[in-house]
Amino acid sequence: MNQQQYEKACFEKFGESWPEVHRFLDQYFDLTRSMSHRVILHHRQGIELVVAVFGEAARGPAEQHIELDFGFVAESPGDLEKYYYPTTDEEDQMIQDKIKEMSPVFNRQVLVRSTSKSQVEQLYQLADHVGEIVQHDEHWGFSALFEIPRPTKANCQKMNVFIGHAIGLGVEHCHCSVLAIWTSLEEFVSTGKKEP
């Protein structure tokens, strides 16, 4: 399928064409010039990355895109081995490198921000992997990292409990993939800005 066909099918089902989702999922086609590019993002892990970048509303369009290509949605790149036919050793290496880059995609960071240092310190005690508490003007904050091998309810429980405590304390928070480079701790603490 081409970009216009994905967009048309998406518009018919969701009322929006979501061109950015289709470009994102197929971003490696120009590097491989073969269908092997699909192994990189055409699976549940790729969908979670789409959601991390474009929001929950992009989940359906991403699933539809992959189903149009394969007829199903695999869990991970390893489940697509029988569809993987790199045309050169260089293509194989490039694809394997991209898949390795994807491995931290489910690790999540939660940024917190408050004018109350004591509230921030309370939350700091509840997180396993944290950076230093930073201050900007009257705001305090830090980044907590949660290692999530797969985005299941059980695997996300510790992060969700942490967020629940933040909400209970009235502390602003932002959770995103560790790959979400548009959200920096310093910018979040100083301005509260969560997205580009």
d(CA 60, CA 93): 31
Single out the residue of 156, 145, 2, 146 nearest to residue 68, CA to CA: 2
Question: Which structure tokens are listed for 46?
Answer: 């790729």
Single out the residue of 155, 140, 61 nearest to residue 107, CA to CA: 155
Domain boundaries in the chain? 3-102, 107-191
Q: CATH says 107-191 is which class?
A: alpha beta
d(CA 21, CA 162): 30
Q: Which residues pair with 114 in a beta bridge?
A: 140
For residue 52, how far is the Cα from the chain centroid? 3
- What are the C-alpha distances in Å from 24 to residues 1, 105, 192? 15, 15, 27
Its sign, for the CA torsion 28, 34, 39, 44, is positive
pLDDT-flagged residues of the chain (< 70): 101-107, 149-153, 155, 177-183, 194-196
User: Is the distance from CB of 105 to CB of 177 less than 8 angstroms?
Assistant: yes
The pLDDT value given to residue 112 = 92
d(CA 156, CA 150): 9
